[in-house]
Amino acid sequence: MARRKKRSSTTVECPFCGEEDELFVDAGGGSFQTYEEDCAVCCRPRTVHVEPGEEPGEFRVWVERSE
């Protein structure tokens, strides 16, 4: 049986500076999430998207530029 973690992390590439950054995902925030968060490297705003992955407990994350 797969266990769903309350909080997990993944690495994403900033759409502005291209640097990789660790992003924490709060699984308790819902299956589908969209929010803004600044890049920890260049401080530019980006939109973070989270949706369920193919397996239980997995998630898919991608970021895009926010203006």
pLDDT digits 0-9 by tens, 29-54: 888 999 999 999 999 999 999 999 88
Helix (H, G, I), strand (E, B) or coil at 27: helix
**pLDDT band at 67, cuts 50/70/90?**
confident
Q: Distance between CA 67 and CA 57 in Å, rounded?
A: 31
* pLDDT score at 39: 94
Between 8 and 16, the higher pLDDT residue: 16
**Is 5:26 a contact under the CB 8 Å cutoff?**
no
